[in-house]
Structure formats: structure tokens, C-alpha cells
Amino acid sequence: MNEVLHDISWVVPLRNDFLTGLFKFFTWLGYPTFIMLALAVGYWLLGKDRFTRVAVIVIISTVLNAFLKDFWQNPRPDIAFRLDADVGTSFGMPSGHAQISAVLWFWMAYEFRRAWFWGLAVIMVAGICFSRIYLGIHDLEDILAGLILAALSLSLYRVALGQKFEVLRQGPLYLTLFAIMSLGLIVKLAWPDQENSIGALVVFGLLPAWLLGASIETRLVRFKPRQEIWSRVVVVVLGLACLMALLALSKLALSGLEPLLAGTISSALLGLTMTLFAPLLFKLCRLSESS
């Protein structure tokens, strides 16, 4: 059993140029860049409330995954197997690609409630998970741990969104934001390796900013995408250009700050841009349906 969970030498004979290109594409679909873009586009075009729920569980799962990596400190497979140089020095278990892609795609499937979307979710998660083994980044144990954590997270999240907790969810926004920031401080203090806590904890800037931006947008901006395909294409192109410009400018403007503070501010600006500033720009550009 130990050999099945940890040995990935069997994948080497399967490698060829076509499969390597294919699975590098799948693995890119599990990296934060794609996930953030998917959340933004979904929020703009496919439902603000729906993708706010998706964003919450994805962000929380990201922190949980990073915390457990540093807690377990399980090494990745031998570097000789690796075809992906973007993993840095992080630990292997649980696989972030497996956990977060499963949370993202299966919760979206649950939100859309379409059989075809469940089929798409299975294909995407399976492709992303296998890509990590194929590229020599994770072994089967890492993948299974990520999928188990995803299943537990999805189950608990569904319960948290049920009627039993409706009173808590309907509470004032400022209490929710205070609770999130307090939780971020607790997680920071409890992190197994303080030197590695920065990258994961900056998402606590993204989550309250997302919720705050979405709340303001719903009350004041009320962007509603038009049905024309050209209009939606313009929304995507314009919105993604704004996000790319923001990331570039914030990197320059915040370069002199302490890393945790800079990362938190950058993440907060990203969340506000996705949920508030970009929809406001779309409406000013007349890309919104008439109220």
C-alpha cells in the first residue's frame, strides 16, 4: 500500500510531448491566477451571490490547505520527476490543486444544478489531479488527502449555508468582517511555520474586501450584464485588463512595505476591484442593462 501511495515512477513511461502539454494546461487551471480570474468573471456574468458563495469556500480552503502543508510537512516526490518548476519549496500534502479545484468545480456544479456541469466538474477535477502526478509534483497520497479535505469542506459549507445558521448569516456585515479579521489573527499566531504564513494569510485581505465590495455594489452600483455576446466579451476583456493593471501597479507601489502588510493591501484591492470597482466601470461604460 505504501508503494501505491508514494511511488510515481510508473508515470515516466507515459510521458510524451502531447500529454505533457495537455497536463500543463490542466495544472494551470489549478493555480491561483486562473482561479481568481474564474471567480471574477463568474461574479460579473453568472451571478454575484452565487460566486460570492464560491469565493468564500475557495478562499477558506486555500488557507486550510496552506496551514496543513506546513503542519504535516510532508515532502513532495523526488525532484527528478518534476516537470513543473512553480511549486517552490512548499510541502506536498495535501495537494492544493486537488483540494481547491474540487471545492471550486463541485461547488459551482452544486450552484448551477445541471447534469452537464457535474460532468464538466468531474472531468476538470480528474484532469487537474492527474496532472499533478503526471508532472511529478504530487503522489497519490497527496491527491487523496486533498480530495478528502475538499469533500469535508463542501459538506460543512453546505450545512453552514442551511437554515440552522441563517440568523448568523443575516447579521450585520461589520460583525462578519470583524470575525474574519479576528480569525486571520488567530490563524497567524497558530501557524506552524511563521516564515511561511505570509502567502496564505494575505487571502484574509481578499475575503473581507470581497464581501464589503459585493455589499456596496449590490446597494449602490447594481451592475447587471447585458445579454449581447459582444457586451459580455467586452466586460471580460475590460475587467481582466483592470485586474492585470491593478496587480502591476500595486506591486510597484507597495514594494517598500513589509511583505505581510503589502500582500494584505494588494489582496484587499484585488477583492474590491473584482466586486465593486470593475462593475462600476462596466456601468459607466454602458455595459449594464437598464435598471
Quick one: pLDDT at residue 18? 92
Identify the DSSP state of 12.
G
Task: Name residue 138's amino acid.
Answer: H
Say if residue 199's pLDDT is above 70: no
CA distance 154 to 242: 31
Phi, psi of 288 (to 5 degrees): -110, 145
Q: How confident is the model at residue 290 (pLDDT cuts 50, 70, 90)?
A: low
The percent helix, strand, coil of the chain (3-state, each to 5) is: 80, 0, 20
Q: If we measure between CA atoms, which residue out of 187, 204, 179, 205 comes closest to residue 269?
A: 205
Lowest mean pLDDT across 2-6, 55-59, 80-84: 2-6
pLDDT tier at 252, thresholds 50, 70, 90:
confident
pLDDT reading at 141 higher than 60:
yes
Q: Which residues contact 198 (CB under 8 A, 6 or more apart)?
A: 259, 260, 263
Percent of the chain with pLDDT over 90: 43
* Range 49-54 average pLDDT: 92
pLDDT digits (tens, 9 = 90+) for 15-27: 998 999 999 999 9
Q: Where are the domains positioned within the chain?
A: 1-170, 178-291
